[in-house]
Amino acid sequence: MNDPVNNPEHYNKGGIEAIDGIKSSMSDEEFKGYLKGNCIKYLWRYNYKGKPKEDLEKSQWYLNRLIQELSDE
């Protein structure tokens, strides 16, 4: 079953998760900035796309990933 928040099908092609590819292309600081930016993006627009709960959950996903990255330091 497709989970548009935690595991969107279109973010995993060829066995590689997009988030992992993005992380590998950046320094640790750049990746944390990317995660922070996505949190802000989804919070900014959550009330404009017709799926406010989904966008808030996506923001939370990126925030949780940012917290995980800080915990792994």
Encode 20-73 in three state secondary structure.
Answer: HHHHHCCCHHHHHHHHHHHHHHHHHHCCCCCCHHHHHHHHHHHHHHHHHHHHCC
Could you read off the pLDDT of 8-67 as tens digits, one per residue?
666 666 778 889 999 999 999 999 999 999 999 999 999 998 999 999 999 999 999 999
Predicted TM-score (pTM) of the model is: 0.82
